[in-house]
Structure 1
Amino acid sequence: MGFAVRRTSRAYVRPSGATPAGSLELSIIDRVVGLRHLVRSLHVFSPRAGGGQSPARVVQEALGKALVDYYPFAGRFVDGAGGPGSARVECTGEGAWFVEAVAGCSLADVNHLDHPLIIPEDDLLPDAAPGVQPLDLPLMMQVTEFTCGGFVVGLISVHTMADGLGAGQFINAVGDYARGLLKPMVSPIWAREAIPSPPKLPPGPPPELKMFQLRHFTVDVSLDSVGKVKSDYFHSTGQRCSTFDVAIAKTWQARTRALRLPDPSSRVKLCFFANTRHLMNSAWPATGKDGVAGAGFYGNCFYPVAVAAASGEVEAADVAGVVGIIREAKARLPVEFARWAVADFKDDPYELSFTYDSLFVSDWTRLGFLEADYGWGTPSHVIPFAYYPFMAVAIIGAPPVPKTGARIMTQCVEDEHLPAFKEEIKSFDK
């Protein structure tokens, strides 16, 4: 059918200018062992007028410039005496792995990579770099050009270096250089020492990871349905809520109903990762055009927000009621983060447990990826792949342009619960 992808060039892209050498210490959050994993995503750019330039060459040159500012991305992770939990970054300047590729079709031929993918994701993501363990290499990138002039950026990064906001900030810096700016619009700061470092508890045995047979399911929910819940919540509480609040409330409720737990007092759990940069005012001066504390920080700066409720309560409530449960947990964030910062806790909140009654949710709509522009406009679509067989996951994203609404991408139930879960989610728009 002509949908083959052929890789034409592979190389390390080094910083285009001089960069500091030596070791950089990571924060206590960066060094959470569970964050030493690969984050994979595809960023789809529709054909636009680009002056006949090759997107791959433009992005490659811009990447070299951005790696001067973000030089740790050109280094390597090295474990300390304590293993991955004591990792650091060696600023070697060896570079990020970069692959050029061409596809034998247009984006229209493959439905602009809307769900379900017609081209396997692994064809559009960079293949392994030689001579280095993937988890020691902070960044890998592939640019695949299509016959129509559109292209896809396949990105693989290690979560240890940056959280979602940090990775989005870096990708926007590459875009700034690609569009001809002389420096990134946001100047990066390392500042890992500003992250609180409470004494860690003695490590217990490694968690037993039970592998589930979780199935993928993706659905789009309309702005009208989301707006109705927002209105219901406002009328009952006098407070506003976000699209993310509504999307995860419906997903959690749909999953809980699908599980059909026999005891309505059984606890079901929800976890998402809240940005805490705004809680670091005493550690970071206000910088940037908006005077935001810590503007430019690209390390991991988040706190796991844990929500738990009786399954019967989640099942019986309307969606606005489930939003209320979630927002109560969000309201506790400043106090819980402050207590963690001074080691006032019994259980380490960053030591997560993965059970079938727990749902983990990630929001990809506010990370900055949808604003990245390499000179061909912003992406029509961003596709994250953050799924693990031991972890029930839902990702909130956006459907491809020009569609509107919220896209809920899940791998969170096994076969026996999938039909009921689909029916519950789809009922949201009825």
Structure 2
Amino acid sequence: MGSELRQAFSVIRKAPELISPAAPTPKEFKKLSDIDDQEGLKFHVPSLFFYKNSPSPALEGKDPVKVIREALSKALVFYYPLAGRLREGDNRKLLVDCNGEGILFTEADANVKLEHFGDEIQVPCPYLDQLLYNVPGSDGTLGCPLLLIQVTRLLCGGFILGLRFIHTICDGFGFMQFLKAVEEMTNGANSPSLTPVWQREILNARDPPRITRIHHEFEPVKNSRDIFLNMNLDDMAHKSFYFGPKEIASLRHQLPFHLQNCSRFELITAWLWRCRTIALEPDPDEIVRLSFTASARGKHYNQLIPPGYYGNAFVYPALCSKADDLCRNPLEYAVELVKKAKAEINEEYVRSVADLMVIRGRPKYTSEGYFIVSDNTRTGFDEVDLGWGKPVFGGIAGALLIISFYLKYQKRDGEIGSMVPICLPLSTMEKFQEEMKKMTEAPM
């Protein structure tokens, strides 16, 4: 159905509108934290959610566009900073102008049924531009809406929810917290069960700031060959790769006994980094780096982040290797590096990142020889029930140039695994796929 759908698929959109909080909210300025206020987080993250026509009894016959629009407006009363706009204060410090201007919302209708999408209900979705219209002027940082939303009705009665948020304002867990509030509003709640917490000052730099850890993610690599620099996006390939029980078992079989208990994340991350580096064919002596998002939430951080906090609460430490060492050594070499880097992340590392942002003027991570991964398999995107049941698929819509997101994915036969979208130059993707194939060919 893929090629037939591409020829027939069309979306009719109404003019975008602004949705403001349903009740008066404070007019004030709120500063972001020094973890939020990173140059590397000034990008927009799109996501898609596909829903069947299976409304709850209370929503039988209701229009999902109207239901979601009203729920968003109610949720924004409690998350009113999301209805504001980012501004720059002294020393380029970002803050939110809580002016209640609103989030951008587009109502749309498509001429297909959910079943017509077939296996294309995953990432990357070839119809992202139609399902999440990039309203001109909406994708900047300063003065732009912080959320962009499109609800597209389907002929079968199902619908597709497209969402985009600027990463500066929240991380995946924070955004999910807002979506859960919207979910509760669609089910008749008057307030969210988890009270949102701003308190961005808890992740501000110390006084005086002091860098106490090594941060390879912010250190430029000399004599590095960045093949992504100035690359035409039309020359990029965007594909997803699935890691289920069979694939994980195959990878684990390649490790020595003392590493058999490594996590799925460590295994997948090490494998992807190695395969990607082999495919890119860097100079043997070039230093390549891998970053992974490490959350500061939970008991390991002495409850540093309070329940309800919806700001960015993570760092992305980098580990380094000579390209030749990574490519020529067996998989265990990369797994050991990932495990070691994870073990070194603690509250002091988070504090050191915040301090570095202030001391060095908020540098962006250096992209040369770099690969960043973010595990979203436990974020809960696949469980967002807006009154029509859980989505057939729900998650971030794809990879960025050097950033890949791990997504929870359920196959048609019910098997659950991780789907990982990858962006690579066209000339490199074929080599990458050859390396990936070796995973399933490894003896068990």
Query: Please, what TM-score do these two structures have when normalized by structure 1?
Result: 0.85
Are 2:410 and 1:393 aligned?
no
Q: Which moved more, 1:336-345 or 1:26-35?
A: 336-345
- Distance change >3 Å, CA 116–CA 361, structure 1 → 2: closer
Query: Please, what TM-score do these two structures have when normalized by structure 2?
Result: 0.82
* Residue number in structure 1 paired with 2:115: 108
* Residue number in structure 2 paired with 1:289: none
Counting only pairs closer than 5 Å after superposition, residues 116-195 of structure 1 correspond to structure 2 as: 120-128=127-135, 135=142, 136-195=144-203
- Distance change >3 Å, CA 367–CA 267, structure 1 → 2: same
SS in structure 1 at match of 2:317: strand
Per-residue CA deviations over 1:339-389 (Å, capped at 9, x if unaligned) read 44566999789631011x21111222222212211011222213524655x
CA contact (8 A) 1:126 1:155 kept: no
Residue number among 197, 205, 221 corresponding to 2:243 in the alignment = 221
CA contact (8 A) 1:221 1:405 kept: yes
CA contact (8 A) 2:270 2:338 kept: yes
User: Unpaired segments of 5 or more residues in structure 2?
Assistant: 1-6, 212-217, 221-225
- Distance change >3 Å, CA 237–CA 222, structure 1 → 2: closer
SS in structure 1 at match of 2:191: coil
* Residue number in structure 1 paired with 2:215: none
Are 2:346 and 1:336 aligned?
no
Report the Cα distance in structure 1 between the residues aligned to 2:124 and 2:204, rounded to whole angstroms: 42
* Residue number in structure 2 paired with 1:236: 258
Residue 415 of structure 1 deviates from its aligned partner by: 3.1
Residue 417 of structure 1 deviates from its aligned partner by: 2.3
Residue number among 63, 80, 85 corresponding to 2:72 in the alignment = 63
- Distance change >3 Å, CA 318–CA 13, structure 1 → 2: same
Report the Cα distance in structure 2 between the residues aligned to 1:131 and 1:227, rounded to whole angstroms: 44
CA contact (8 A) 1:8 1:101 kept: yes
Report the Cα distance in structure 1 between the residues aligned to 2:360 and 2:140, rounded to whole angstroms: 32
Report the Cα distance in structure 1 between the residues aligned to 2:185 and 2:151, rounded to whole angstroms: 16
User: Unpaired segments of 5 or more residues in structure 1?
Assistant: 285-292
Are 2:60 and 1:48 aligned?
no
* Residue number in structure 2 paired with 1:38: 44
Residue 117 of structure 1 deviates from its aligned partner by: 6.4
Residue 158 of structure 1 deviates from its aligned partner by: 1.1
Residue number among 281, 291, 294 corresponding to 1:260 in the alignment = 281
Per-residue CA deviations over 1:118-172 (Å, capped at 9, x if unaligned) read 7521111144278996752111111111111221111111111101111111112
Identity over aligned residues, as a percent? Answer: 28
Report the Cα distance in structure 1 between the residues aligned to 2:381 and 2:264, rounded to whole angstroms: 18
Report the Cα distance in structure 2 between the residues aligned to 1:310 and 1:261, rounded to whole angstroms: 10
SS in structure 1 at match of 2:113: coil
CA contact (8 A) 1:304 1:350 kept: no
Q: Calculate the aligned-residue CA RMSD, in Å.
A: 3.3
Residue 2 of structure 1 deviates from its aligned partner by: 3.9
SS in structure 2 at match of 1:395: strand
Are 2:429 and 1:429 aligned?
no
Are 2:35 and 1:29 aligned?
yes
Report the Cα distance in structure 2 between the residues aligned to 1:346 and 1:328, rounded to whole angstroms: 27
Q: Which amino acid aligns with 2:440?
A: D
CA contact (8 A) 1:381 1:399 kept: yes
